């Protein structure tokens, strides 16, 4: 970022992890790099509405019933001095845009409608990298939006649900400016932070010790 890079970050537990539970370094990253602060732990909805840059796109629904590949637990609501570009049903802030960074409190890769997902990324790329050049194949990416295509980007399939992390795109034509997409479905540390003692599964076994049984 200090070298002129651009960042898109999204995840259901990023701010719970960094700002609410994190140490001073974690909090500084959230506030100074991502440009956001933790508001609440759970938006209580999977429906997100576009605003500002994303006005007219969507809804950005990440419910399993509309095609999300995995359930999103505890989508964070945000506070920020940056421009709001997405809100949850009910009005809480779901996504913001700064000069070099866009941040969302839910994983963008779980938006159920592929056309909406593509349109969101197309608009974000246009805003964050206005001078984006053609990619190495010369093939533009259809964003599914009325704005046409996001030239300079090849389509990259996201990995199977797990870490939820992905990078994509071509550096050609960017003038040396890197772009990092961090599409994170953070669910780590919640169990380790919130559960003490053995975890008992519904079948009565104690997690981590197949031979042990719940009393």
Give per-residue pLDDT as tens, 34-61: 999 999 999 999 999 999 999 999 899 9
Q: Which of 111, 107, 113 is nearest to 185 (CA)?
A: 107
Spatial neighbors of 208 by CB under 8 A, at least 6 apart, are 198, 199
Of residues 86 and 151, the one with the higher pLDDT is 86
The structure's pTM equals 0.67
pLDDT in tens, 150-162: 434 444 444 444 4
> Is 101 a residue whose pLDDT tops 90?
yes
> Is 141 a residue whose pLDDT tops 90?
no
Of residues 176 and 189, the one with the higher pLDDT is 189
* pLDDT for position 170: 35
* pLDDT for position 186: 39
DSSP 54-93: GTTS------GGGT-SS---SPPEEE-SSEEEEEETTS-E
């Amino acid at each position: 970022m200090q070298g002129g890079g651009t960042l898109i970050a999204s995840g259901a537990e990023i701010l719970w992890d960094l700002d609410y539970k994190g140490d001073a370094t974690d909090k500084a990253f959230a506030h100074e790099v991502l440009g956001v602060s933790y508001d609440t732990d759970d938006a209580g909805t999977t429906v997100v509405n576009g605003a500002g840059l994303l006005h007219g796109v969507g809804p950005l629904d990440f419910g399993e019933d509309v095609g999300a590949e995995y359930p999103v637990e505890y989508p964070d609501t945000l506070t920020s001095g940056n421009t709001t570009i997405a809100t949850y049903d009910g009005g809480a802030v779901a996504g913001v845009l700064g000069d070099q960074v866009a941040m969302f409190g839910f994983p963008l890769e779980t938006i159920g409608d592929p056309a909406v997902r593509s349109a969101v990324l197309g608009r974000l790329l246009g805003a964050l990298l206005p001078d984006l050049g053609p990619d190495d194949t010369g093939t533009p990416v259809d964003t599914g939006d009325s704005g046409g295509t996001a030239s300079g980007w090849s389509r990259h399939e996201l990995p199977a649900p797990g870490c939820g992390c992905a990078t994509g795109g071509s550096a050609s034509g960017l003038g040396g400016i890197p772009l990092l997409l961090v599409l994170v479905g953070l669910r780590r540390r919640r169990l380790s932070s919130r559960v003490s003692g053995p975890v008992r599964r519904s079948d009565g076994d104690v997690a981590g010790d197949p031979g042990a049984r719940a009393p």
